[in-house]
Amino acid sequence: MIYLDHSATTKPDPAVLQTFIQASERYYANPASLHQMGVEANALLTRAREQIADIINTSPEQIIFTSGGSESNNFAIKGLARANKHRGTKILVSAIEHASVLESAKALEKEGFTVDIVDVDEHGVILIEDLKKKLTKDTVVVSIMHVNNEMGAVQPITEIAQIVHQYSRAFYHMDAVQSFGKIPVQFNKENGPDAITISGHKINALKGSGFLALRKQVNINPIIHGGGQEMGYRSGTVAVPQVVALAKAARLASEKQPQKALQFSKWRDNLHEYFEQFPYVHVLSSSKGAPHIVSCAVQGLKGEILVNAMQHEGIIISTSSACSSKDHTVSHVVHAIKVDPSYEKGVIRMSLGEGICEADIAFFKTAFSKVMHQVKEM
């Protein structure tokens, strides 16, 4: 099977797995324990935190380890909003955010916060004028993702941060789950996002690992209470082997990012050009988008049919986000970019990652052409 669903999850890197195994065998003690083994585990945890902080360009105490992207998004939005309610009670999110962002904002409405949605254009890029219009002095949190997980749209994060900080006292949170390791992701000390979410299993680390990174010291409330681990922000015994493996994966992803971006961009553009031969295929992803995500829609067909047909040919793709694809409804992202109704149920996504080669792209095109020929006959 050729796996083209890396935006849903990735296969752990062998070096990352080896790091996890070694840490599990040797540093299995609780890092909060005072005995020698606990001290050694804590030292390893500290080094991992320092390594990630160096990659993301912040201080180690601003790295908070979590179970992944969804927890980090919940933590950022709920934690910042609750801790800074004196600044305002309005939350802004884009129309194409991940469900963990949209549902976190929705949950806060029950606590007296108001939520407004920033619209996007047909390419999935936010409308800057709409952001300016909806940003008020009462806005406390703005959450706009870096790269959209369904169609690869890249947001103008520097411009967004400048507007947010110039016209409000709000914190800008950026979900970078789909961007880290694919395009540059670092804090800008002068201006930029105030909080960044990263997920381990999207960068060839292990599921159940991730972190929330802060640009500087801010007021943020914990959402998990208990023993006060992670500087009091996230209680619970820290899974040191997971964290060490995550640091290893983050370093590898950061080192490989420039080369992978060039190669993936070439394949993305090649596929865009290939799809143009089919009059009933509408390309949703853009050459200005993320290099690893290719999204298109086939007129009059359901995405599930295409996924099954391509799987029969030996290729794994997806319909949209793995988090919402099983409910068989049209994605909120597809609605937001106003896809023609005759295409909206036929959206499929191909996402590139580690292990993909030129021959796999060629094989995909051969298989897709075969499937389209079968569809045409039907």
Active site residues: 323
- Using DSSP bridges, classify how beta strands 293-298 and 281-283 pair: parallel, antiparallel or unpaired: antiparallel
| Helix or strand holding residue 242 (H, E) | helix 240-275
Cβ(53)–Cβ(63) under 8 Å?
A: yes
Residue 99: DSSP 8-state: H
250 φ, ψ to 5°?
-65, -40
- How far apart CA 237 and CA 229 sit, in angstroms, is 7
Give the SS3 label for residue 368: helix
Place of tokens 């897709």: 368
SS3 content of the chain, % helix, strand, coil (to 5): 45, 15, 40
Nearest to 52 by CA among 209, 160, 169, 158: 209
| Burial track 361-376 (b if 16+ CB lie within 10 A, e otherwise) | beebeebbeebbeebe
Give the SS3 label for residue 103: helix
- How far apart CA 272 and CA 365 sit, in angstroms, is 11
- How far apart CA 365 and CA 199 sit, in angstroms, is 30
- How far apart CA 372 and CA 357 sit, in angstroms, is 23
- How far apart CA 92 and CA 319 sit, in angstroms, is 27
